[in-house]
Amino acid sequence: MNINKLIQNKKLFLVIFSVLTFSTIGLSTAYADSDDNQMQALQNQLPVQNTISPVQYHIHNHFRLHHGAILQNPSSGGTPLNNQGPTQSQIKPQTNSAIIAQNAVSNRNSINLQSNTGPNATTSSMTTYDNSVLSGVSTNIAHAETESEANGENGITANNPASSEVAYNGNNQNTMNPAKLDLVLWITIFAITSIIVHSAWKVYKTRRKFAVKKTV
């Protein structure tokens, strides 16, 4: 019996095909479970730094660059210093209406800072003025990030330590907008439905043509 005759044997082909399909599904599901456990174990080994959000990272980066300071836990205390913030001209390009709105909310809050630029490390806390700048900058960064993601640019997250977590999880391999990817599936379903409807219509037309010819 050669391979051509084996293919002609409908029952045998279908049996082999079904067995292979179901065994593949079963075995793969079993291995997918064990794989999940491996990934979970590896995720637990990730450094704590990777768990910060992009906005937190940018706030941290802003103070490192502009204030030469490291964010500290507010509960640890500190002496308020009013002269540590940037001048009005420095923060002007970054201010917007969001600052005014968030300023009202965060008037009574203060964030403690630890300066590492001078010869003696000093601990200070943020004033209302600095806090308003921080809230404005964070709002701008949050909006900028949303826009860049919408445009398919990933410049911010490329330099972000948190992006390694996203890449590791494998859930964000595509730089395209998820809404656009959703469209791909809908186009596929629409195209396949059109093919089926078109083919069915052609069969119907042919049958009708033959029926008319038979009657005539």
Partner 1 sequence: MHYTSSSYFKIVMIAALVFVPAMAFADNGKASSTAVNIGWASIGCGLAANLALTSFKLARKMIPMKVLVGSGSSQNLASTYSKILNFHIILNSIGFLLGLFHGYLLLRGLDYISLSLVVVMTVSMLSGIILKYASGNNTKFFVRLVHSQFILGVMLVTLVLLHVITKWH
- Residue 71 CA to residue 58 CA, distance in Å, equals 11
Burial 76-86 (b: 16+ CB within 10 A, else e): eebeebeebbe
- Residue the block writes with tokens 């009708």: 208
Strand partners, 122: 115
Query: What's the Rg (C-alpha) of the chain?
Result: 31
Per-residue x/- mask for partner 1, residues 136 to 175, rule CB under 8 A?
---------------------------------xxx-xxx
Environment class of 122 (CB within 10 Å of its CB; exposed 0-12, middle 13-18, buried 19+): middle
As measured in angstroms, the least distance from the Cβ of 186 to partner 1 is 9
| Contact pattern from residue 195 through residue 214 relative to partner 1, giving x for each residue in contact according to CB under 8 A and a dash for the rest | xx-xxx-xx--xx-------
Using CB under 8 A, pick the residue from 182, 205, 208, 211 that binds partner 1.
182
Binding footprint of partner 1 on the chain (CB under 8 A) = 1-4, 6-7, 9-10, 12, 14, 16-17, 20-21, 23-25, 27-29, 31-32, 35-36, 38-39, 42, 169-171, 173-176, 178, 181-182, 184-185, 187-189, 191-192, 195-196, 198-200, 202-203, 206-207
